[in-house]
Amino acid sequence: MKLSVKQAAVVGTAAVALVGTGWINQMHRVSADTAQTNQITVTQAQLEQAQANVNSATAAVTQAQVALQQAQAKVSSLTTQLADQQAEVAKLKATQDDQPAALEAAQAQLAQTQGALAAAKQTLTAAQNNQTSKQNTLAQAQTLLSQDQSAVAAAQKEVNNRQTALAADEKAQTNTTPVNATTLANAKQKLRQTQQQANQADQTAANKATIKKLADQSVASAQQEDVAAKAKLSKDQANLDAAQAKLNQVDQKIADANTTVSTAEKTLAAEEQKAEAQSSANVIVLPAGVDRTLFNRGLTNDQIEAILAPGFDLNAEFHHNEADEKVTTNLDSPEIERELSIFAASLLNPLCKQLNFNQWQVTDLSVKVAQDMADQYDQDKFDMGATGDHDLPAFAKVESENNILGISESGLPYSNIGGEPFTSLDAEKESLYYSLLSCIFNDEASQFGHTHNVLNWNTLLDGPSDQVTMYEGISHDHVGETSYIL
């Protein structure tokens, strides 16, 4: 047990009482000195145990600090992962062609980040609980330290009292009976031992104060790291929320794009169905003798024209469409230009397939390019019929503006029969129909260039002319001339 202040005072009194007493008192003093030695030994062991307890508490605080540092490292790693995810989402936003695959990857990254964030939160909570426990332990050690310091102060006071009493006894011995020298020496030795014990207690108290200071610093550092970890966790959560918001935006854009594509596909299907229904009434048939070897037989242009020319009479009748006759407004709108393009493709593609040449496809870009060419003809005030040629500078400009290469144009007069403005969509289709007949069956004057162009004619005879998709669009300019952009 710990030596109390009262017990220390009893021991001191027993030592001082040696002066001026007889042999019986000396025997009592020896007995008291022995008890004092035992009590001081017990007190020293208790102080050493208290020192060990403080050291253990300090080590526990250090371990808590290491745990917090590990939690901080985990949060830092999570921040890096969030930055990578943000970069991936930004890349996904910029790249629209592979959005489904990119969305799946972004969602997987988000799930990983959420799992890492949950683990970081658990680690941080455990570190905080551990820190609280170690702070409680440190508080208990500090309480014991305060008690020990009080005991040391009391012991020091008792030593001072003993020194005063000893001095008084020595002075008294000068005037009284001499005291046994051995007894006096023993008393002084016990006093020195008591002083040493007091000095050791002072050193122990100083050590405990130093340890307390270090522990306080460790706790303060741990608290600062805890605040920083919470701030980082809050920032990471904000970044995660921002990433989720961006991902939601991408999801919405993809949904909107899918809706747009679905609508466009339905519209195209309806247009193709309509064109197919009309083309069943208006079908261009090749005359006898026309096959893919026509231009490889060594025939003259006159002989080739003689084979092709009957096709004009063979397909001379255009079948009108009652629904198209009712469409009388906005005949130069993009919607009408697209329908005319699909109508032309429905007339040409069966011939291309029969000859084993590439077939035409109509896209928004091909229709736009055709209209851009017509607009450029208007800007250049170019009259194909009057010049007998094409507006070549317009080709380069339209190709550059649309980032494409290889525009080919077949143009022939494309006005209503009789030269009057078109009055209906049916009238436009009729004029387009006869214009295509002229390109295919009556093109000797152009060395059959239009024939080759509109049918994708391949004179190599080894399969389709290209392994790439061919696109087609129809438009007309201010003077009513066709622009078959092929």
For range 336-363, the mean pLDDT: 93
Could you tell me the pLDDT band of residue 54, with boundaries at 50, 70 and 90?
confident
Between 91 and 227, the higher pLDDT residue: 227
Q: Is the separation of the CB atoms in 14 and 163 below 8 Å?
A: no
Could you tell me the pLDDT band of residue 64, with boundaries at 50, 70 and 90?
confident
Could you tell me the pLDDT band of residue 447, with boundaries at 50, 70 and 90?
very high
Q: Is the pLDDT score of 62 beyond 80?
A: yes
For range 99-114, the mean pLDDT: 80
> Residue ranges per domain, the chain?
5-263, 280-485
For range 103-131, the mean pLDDT: 85
Q: Is the pLDDT score of 280 beyond 60?
A: no
C-alpha span between 82 and 105 (Å, rounded): 14
Q: What percent of the chain has pLDDT over 90?
A: 21
For range 49-55, the mean pLDDT: 85
Between 420 and 353, the higher pLDDT residue: 353
For range 251-273, the mean pLDDT: 64
Could you tell me the pLDDT band of residue 67, with boundaries at 50, 70 and 90?
confident
For range 22-33, the mean pLDDT: 44
* pLDDT of res. 467: 47
Q: Which of 44-53, 77-86, 292-301 has the lowest mean pLDDT?
A: 44-53
pLDDT, tens digit, 9 for 90 and up, residues 298-316 = 999 999 999 999 999 999 9
For range 59-85, the mean pLDDT: 85
Could you tell me the pLDDT band of residue 179, with boundaries at 50, 70 and 90?
low
pLDDT, tens digit, 9 for 90 and up, residues 37-48 = 454 554 667 778
Q: Is the pLDDT score of 413 beyond 50?
A: no
* pLDDT of res. 416: 41
pTM, 2 dp: 0.44
* pLDDT of res. 26: 42
For range 1-28, the mean pLDDT: 42
* pLDDT of res. 45: 74
Q: What percent of the chain has pLDDT over 70?
A: 71
Between 450 and 420, the higher pLDDT residue: 450
* pLDDT of res. 152: 61
Q: Is the pLDDT score of 333 beyond 70?
A: yes
* pLDDT of res. 310: 97
